Chains A and B, each alone.
Chain A
Amino acid sequence: MRKNGTAEVVAISEDERILGIDDVTICYSDNPAVKNVSFDIARNKITSIIGPSGCGKSTLLRSLNRMNEFISEVSLKGRVSFDGQDLYAKSVDPVEVRQHIGMVFQKPNPFPKSIYKNVSWGPTVNQYDGSIPELVERSLKQASLWNEVKDRLNDSALGLSGGQQQRLCIARALAIEPTVLLMDEPCSALDPISTAHIENLMYDLKSRYTIVIVTHNMQQAARVSDYTAFMEMGNLIEFGETDQIFTRPQEKRTEEYVTGRFG
């Protein structure tokens, strides 16, 4: 265990590490939303980031594939590395970063196009060389949506239910064959059944992808993730194996949060 600022942080071995977050501070203008956070993301595992609203967890997640760049006046200090490479180095093209690190958003946001086109657009712009129809089918199967939509691939995606739309968004993200999948509260707009569906799906996807999920639902974090980071007011309070965080937290604040005493 290595000490980091005030936080308890379990180290991830170098072999296992795919994303490294090293002393990262993210500011909106002059207000820091994330302060000196360090922890690592393990390959082919699910890491969840939990914490009360406004604790900076989404901001941190969006910094992992440089999606913060569309908000003006956001600045990042520290180092985010992907397979050892600095994601924020001058020579790195953010477009390329996002081809390796995909993202699913809080509210389902399918394109107002057909189901097929929603999935095929990503590979098309990334100049995928294989057969796109096969890739679309494979992605929809991975997102366990294929059976529900295979007969209406040319219908508008907006005709799907909320849960189906979110699985479509996951299929769309998988179609660019990313290494890491970032999920920003993917179930917060869904009913319990759709949520369970997506949680099962995440479990299946683990063998092929690394998943980082931001959630304000502690039960969800406890159910799906292998590692959990707990953040509060921009600080990382504790990072460790999910079991340990929920059963034997080292920090008092973590214990209070996961037992529901605040937040």
Chain B
Amino acid sequence: MPLSIELSKPKQRESLNKRHFKAKIFARFCACVTWMGTALLLILLYQIFSDGLSWLDWDFLNNFPSRFPERAGIKSALAGTIWLISLVAFFAIPVGVATAIYIEEFSKKNLLSRIIELNISNLAGVPSIVYGIIGLTIFVRGLSLERSLISGALTMSLLILPVIIIASREAIKTVPISIRSAAFALGATRWQTVWSHVLPASFPGILTGVILALSRAIGETAPLLMIGALTYVAFVPEGPMDSFTALPIQIFNWVSRPQEEFHQLAAAAIIVLLTVLLAMNSVAIFVRHKMEKKLQ
């Protein structure tokens, strides 16, 4: 006979049962909420796939948009999105990660730095349309970059910079102080410590943040509409100064048309967008897994 049963008084037993019951209720509630989210996502995916899958073929990927649904494709939008995301990665990753390193490792902690940190966190919550207005004012008009890929990319970079900075800072913070102390005690400078130990150890976390940020950029529509990305583009952009369209804009455009066929085309484009996102995420997961293995 278990000892605890002998020892506990009836009152204690009763309260213990109550506590177990509460724990069970809470666990059920969490499971419920999790499944609800998943179910909603599955329904959404099912709808998109049932609408769009039949339209998805090589022609769809290789045709320019058209007013005839059976001839319409996403060639220019897909190319625009790939261009855009590459340029955004090119601008935003180095600036964001460098900022995070500076804030965490180099800057002196004073009132000014605290104000800047607070503002970066606030910027992450600013509606994306506001970034569109900034992009329109600064890049399109101010710097006369016109409605080009580079304007779009710079605007998007501004939009996701706070996210990259915050995620990278969190990742850098998780590197234990003891590792830094060990490096400093060997007569390393701060830069050597950061480059050889802090960055490699925080790389998986930084990568996760970067991918989340790029995923946000790939799906954003409002800032691009604001800076005037075109909705009808019948060519593939060849350089950063070309005008462009992107998948979310193409989707937005098709969804707002009355014909049912275009709605199905939009669903097909969403499938492509999701595939691009998934591909990016799986590359990130793969690289992160490799890095984490190397660290252990």
Which residues of A pack against B, CB within 8 Å? Answer: 65, 67, 70, 72, 95-96, 98-99, 102-103, 105, 107, 109-113, 121-122, 125-126, 156, 158, 169, 172-173, 176
Contact = CB atoms under 8 A, between A and B. Distances in A.
Contacts of A125: 186-189, 192, 196
B186 A173 contact: yes
Interface in B99-151: 109
A22 B182 CA distance: 27
Nearest to B193: A125
A96 B189 CA distance: 9
Contact of B186 (A96, A102, A110): A102
B197 A126 contact: no
A158 B179 CA distance: 13
Contacts of B180: 70
Interface string B53-65: 0000000000000
B185 A173 contact: yes
A99 B186 CA distance: 6
B109 A72 contact: yes
A109 B182 contact: yes
A74 B182 CA distance: 20
A204 to B, nearest CB: 21
B296 interface: yes
Contacts of A112: 179, 201, 295-296
B179 A111 contact: yes
B85 to A, nearest CB: 32
B184 A98 contact: yes
List the 7 closest pairs (A to B, CB-CB), nearest first. A99-B187, A122-B186, A109-B178, A103-B185, A98-B187, A112-B295, A109-B182
Interface of B: 109, 176-189, 192, 196-197, 201, 295-296
A98 to B, nearest CB: 4
Contacts of B109: 72
A158 B184 contact: no
B182 A172 contact: yes
Contacts of B185: 65, 67, 98, 102-103, 105, 173
Nearest to B108: A72
A173 B187 CA distance: 10
A173 B181 CA distance: 12
Contact of B181 (A70, A72, A96, A176): A70
Nearest to A158: B296
Contacts of A172: 182, 186
A172 B188 CA distance: 13
A169 B186 CA distance: 10
Contacts of A113: 295
Contact of B197 (A103, A111, A158): A111
Q: Which of A70, A125, A156 has the most CB of B within 10 A?
A: A125
Contacts of A176: 186-187
Contacts of B176: 109
B187 A109 contact: no
A126 B187 contact: yes
13 contacts: A95-B187, A96-B187, A98-B185, A109-B176, A109-B178, A109-B181, A111-B183, A121-B183, A122-B186, A156-B295, A172-B182, A173-B186, A176-B186
A221 to B, nearest CB: 22
